[in-house]
Amino acid sequence: MKYIYIVACALLITVSACRKVKTEQDFPEIKNKPETQQDGWTAEKIEQIAKQKRDSIRIADSLAGTTGGGGNVLANKKNLLIAYVEVNNRAFKNVTCFLNDEGKPVIDLAWVFAPNINIDPSTKKVKVTYNRQVQGLINKGYIRYVQSKGIKVGMTLLGNHDAAGFRNFRNIEEATEFAQHVAIEVRRLGLDAIDFDDEYSESPAYANNESFVMVVSEVKRLLPDKFVHCYIYGGASSSSYLGKRMGDVADAGSSAYYPETPSPGSAGFPIEKLIPSTKPFSGGGYDEATLRSRMQQGYKGIMMFDFNMFPNDYLNRLKSYVKGVKEQNVVEIPGCVDRRENDDVNM
């Protein structure tokens, strides 16, 4: 279960800068199929799809006279408004409940926070694992439902108190095998994006500073049409491989404290690939003027962690964000919002 990291907040900083709560589930109570080769998903198939996508992107770029564009809408879009939903007890469908004056959703991307990574005790390999709430959301069809409303959907991968960690792959072969597994999960679930959050993993003696960029660069190679994001936290800031830093291989990066605006160059990200982090519904937001200023400075967008409708003035808070980031108004769909906070809200 998740819990608020109260001790750190009380001792170190104010609530507005509090670290995010974490997903924790004993492995392997809920997990994906133990072998990625099941149901026709193989490393060879993933490589074939990646080649097809790269070829399509090259053709689209050639026709448009651009470079690196076709197929990855989020990577090329500005003024993004991004929602992280703690799906253990927040309703994921709430991201669909708010439209602009044109009837389009104001949220561009919704993250499922968060599946974990764990060591599979039978194979000793790192696998993506899903707790009861995440698996329930998948089974219920909420990924497709939210996408059908015009919102992109991705999932965050988070450590879970064992040696499975983005910094813990000892060589490119191990990193590539894990990247293939991640790519299979993204394709299998029909996701638009993948996010890496380097927290809550153990750090064994063989931790490797090249490992994290190895993984993300391979994931990006296998998913050229998907949006790849990384929290600038843990190993993301210092990791490098073959002269490449995280900002050279991922599409975007965000701070891991709230509210916080990352400085240009953080982890190698230029300002146009950086996304300030906020918690407007739980004590760590920016006002409208600050949001507008960040957009004018050239930041890619704004992320809202712990997207929830618990405050009575949730609509006014969201309105200031949409106005500051997009210069748009907000209309709430009547009867759409689910304000419940319980473990089965997405089941």
End-to-end CA distance of the chain: 16
User: Using CA atoms, how far apart are residues 275 and 200, in angstroms rounded to an integer?
Assistant: 22
Within 10 angstroms of residue 132's Cβ, the number of other Cβ atoms is 15
Asked if residues 88 and 131 have their Cβ atoms less than 8 Å apart, the reply is yes
Q: Is 29 labeled as catalytic in the residue annotation? A: no
152, 184, 191, 176: which is closest to 73 by C-alpha? 152
The tokens describing 114, both together, are 């968060």
Query: Omega before 8 cis (within 30°)?
Result: no
3-state SS record for 133-152: HHHHHHHHCHHHHHHHCCCE
Q: What angle do CA 5, 306, 147 make, to 5 degrees?
A: 145
The tokens describing 152, both together, are 């992109």
Alpha-carbon separation of residue 83 from 10, 94, 212, 302, 307 (angstroms): 26, 10, 24, 9, 6
3-state SS record for 196-220: EECCCCCCCCCCCCCHHHHHHHHHH
SS3 251: coil
Q: Indicate which residue of 185, 199, 210, 218 is catalytic.
A: 199
**What is the residue whose two structure tokens read 């995280």?**
246
Phi, psi of 86 (to 5 degrees): -75, 90
**What is the residue whose two structure tokens read 């004056």?**
101
Chain-centre distance of CA 153, in angstroms? 9
Chain-centre distance of CA 23, in angstroms? 14
Residues known to be catalytic? 199
